[in-house]
Amino acid sequence: MSFLMSLAAFLPAMLSGILIAELLWDEKTLLAVLLKVCIGTGVGLGLSSLVFFLYLLAFPGGRLFPYIQLAALAILIWLAVRQGKLHFPRVDVRWKPGIWQAVILVCALVIVALAIAGAASVWTHRPFGTWDAFMIYDRSARFVYRGGASWTQTFSPDIDPAFHADYPLLLSMDIAQAWDTLGHESQSVPRVLGGVFMLICAGVFVAGLTMLKSAWQAAVGLIVLMNTPFFILSGPSQTADVPLTAYILSSVLLVFLFCSEQKPGLLVLAGLCAGLAAWTKNEGDVFVAGILAGLFIAFLRQDIWRRIGYFMAGLAFPLVIILYFKLFLAPANDILGTDAAGLIQRIFEWDRHLAILRSFRSQILVIGGTTISVVLLLALYALVFGITPKRVHRPAYVAVAITAVVQAIGYYAIYLVTPHPIKWQLDFSLWRVLFHIYLPLLFVFFVLVTDIPQALQLQRPAAPAETAI
Amino acid sequence: MSGNNSIVILRRAALAVFLLVEIYIGWKNYQDIAAAERAAGEPVAEWERRFAPLKKIMPFKEGTVGYISDSPVTGIDYYNPDDQIEYTLTQYVMSPIVVRKGADREWIIGNFSKQGFEDWMRANPGSYEVTSLNYGIYLIHRTQQP
């Protein structure tokens, strides 16, 4: 029951986000609607967190936020009705699975069931999540909810740096506002939130691949995603890695969709999701820098300023709030807020470079924590199935490749300057931060490789002119 | 045409192997995760129970308190990571009170073994009001500044 109540506490935010996605992206197919539900749910949770932060700045200890959420939802419904956006999706399902489709579907169902059982095991045994979850996000949520008018004590200089009071507040604010709506603290709230972001991640992955390729390609992709232990462990563990990756993946997918549909709203949504990634975790800042650089280069000869402008229109609101938070509230970061002399000295310690490179190499091979190296498995898969990139997606491939490189360089630089013991920092976090890069690249991998029906000749292959890059 | 058919047969065989490998990985993942979770301890609820009496008698609901434990007491053999874990748990359960390591505050939370507390008192003479609670938890009120 408390799970349902917790979910209900997030409903106004989630519905508002879905309506915002609907208003920004006018597409009526069933798949597009499903995708808007997944992306919009994340957008709603992110925007709700940002607005709750502003509300608390204006009215410390105020308890009227649930009414503001309901009012915002009512306005969005009115806008959607007025613009004729509320409609049933156009259903065009041709369901004629052959033997191979049935085999893929059964395998996907088996693996999804195993993944759910694994996630349920984590949920059952770790109601408070892992250490990062309760010492960073739940602790901060407790300061906000219990602190009332003194909620900014969560940024007190007396807080030990181990609690990372400088971390962005998306999860903490969402948890606190749900407690506010319920009128009491419930551990079900962060547990439900972790589950919702897992579903968003999987939903965006599957619906996106189905839109860009086929349901069978999406099912094979889902099999690999659901077999990633880090995904199964991290979601129910209530840490910020899966929410961050959900926003990164949404942003990447929206760039792909923009390339094929050329609708400005898609880039606005992509910018918004990128901004929400930065409001989820500091690593989101690196993603924002990467995707901006990527889009700049990808669209260099294609109406660049207008397109960057659309992206910035979505990014602006989260970015302004993040800048305010970082400049005026957050305490110094435990990695970058140290002495400049020591930082420069660490940059020239070649042993550190070697240690980081070795760790990157070994972690990439076992990325996601899989039993069998997923990198090698996917390399073999690409070798057998071949790749068939579409020309229309070319700017998206360029943007994603540059983003991934910038992320990798950014993470490398952070390890280089960290004042903490390098081995501890690498062992503790590298496998987690690589997941932020891995999942979008896994998505792009399945966009790149030949579609299952085409590769197995389950239907007529697409015309060569359409597939050649 | 026959070359094309061979490629399709190869791909179908490869997909079948791929799916079998993935099912094996999925099963192995589930077993590993379930075994690890069964073995993992869940310390937070226990810490909430331990600190419930202290939270009831705390004279304020926000502000900063000091935190001392066996760790910095000379002669007490204590595994340091455990000390950090207990400090983390204490900050979590005491939120929104800020728990700061050290004894330089008017109010101090002590998290000691019995011997550790006695040793700390001997090493830090002064005027204190001490409330001893279960599980080696103490609320120490410094009645005179050092």
Residue A342 lies in a domain: yes
Residue A401 lies in a domain: yes
Residue A350 lies in a domain: yes
Total-model pTM: 0.94
A248 within 8 A of A287, measured Cβ to Cβ: yes
In this complex, the residue of B15, B38, B95 whose CB is nearest that of residue A125 is: B38
Determine the Cα–Cα distance for residues A199 and A207; give it in Å rounded to an integer: 12
| A-chain residue closest to B64, CA distance | A158
* Res A459: pLDDT: 64
Domain count, chain A: 1
Residues in chain A within 8 Å Cβ distance of B92: 134-135, 138-139, 142
Q: Which amino acid is at A4?
A: L
Residue A166 lies in a domain: yes
- Quick check: A158 and B98 CB within 8 A? yes
Residue A104 lies in a domain: no
Does a cis peptide bond (omega within 30 degrees of 0) precede residue A464? no
Instruction: Please give the mean pLDDT across all residues of chain A.
Output: 92
Size of interface A-B (CB pairs under 8 A): 135
* Res B73: pLDDT: 63
Per-residue confidence at A385, pLDDT binned at 50, 70, 90?
Answer: very high
- Nearest in space to A180 (alpha carbons), one of A52, A280, A279, A276: A52
A122 touches chain B (CB under 8 A): yes
Residue A107 lies in a domain: no
Residue of A191, A224, A384 for testing the chain B interface, max B β-carbons within 10 Å: A384
Burial of A133 (0-12, 13-18, 19+ CB in 10 A): buried
Residue of A106, A132, A134 for testing the chain B interface, max B β-carbons within 10 Å: A134
Per-residue confidence at A469, pLDDT binned at 50, 70, 90?
Answer: very low
The string of pLDDT tens digits covering residues A340-375 is 788 888 899 999 999 999 999 998 888 877 778 899
Domain ranges, residue A130: 2-87+112-467
Residue A106 lies in a domain: no
Q: Which residues pair with B128 in a beta bridge?
A: B142
Per-residue confidence at B101, pLDDT binned at 50, 70, 90?
Answer: very high
* Res A76: pLDDT: 97
Per-residue confidence at A461, pLDDT binned at 50, 70, 90?
Answer: very low
| A-chain residue closest to B30, CA distance | A118
The nearest CA of chain A is from the CA of B92 a distance in Å of: 5
* Res B79: pLDDT: 53
**Tokens found for residue A361:** 């190499």
Residues in chain B whose Cβ is within 8 Å of chain A: 8, 10-12, 14-16, 18-19, 21-30, 32-34, 37-38, 40, 42, 44-45, 61-62, 64, 84, 87-88, 91-92, 95-96, 98-101
Residue A67 lies in a domain: yes
* Res A337: pLDDT: 66
The string of pLDDT tens digits covering residues A185-222 is 999 999 999 999 999 999 999 999 999 999 999 999 99
Residue of A56, A231, A457 for testing the chain B interface, max B β-carbons within 10 Å: A457
**A98-104 contacts, C-beta under 8 A, 24 or more apart:** A98/A458, A100/A216, A100/A452, A100/A456, A100/A458, A100/B12, A100/B15, A101/A216, A101/A458, A103/B16, A103/B19, A104/A216, A104/A219, A104/A220, A104/A223, A104/A452, A104/B15, A104/B19
* Res B4: pLDDT: 77
Residues in chain B within 8 Å Cβ distance of A104: 15, 19
Residues in chain B within 8 Å Cβ distance of A100: 12, 15
- Quick check: B101 and A223 CB within 8 A? no
Residue of B7, B30, B101, B107 for testing the chain A interface, max A β-carbons within 10 Å: B30
**Tokens found for residue B21:** 């490998």
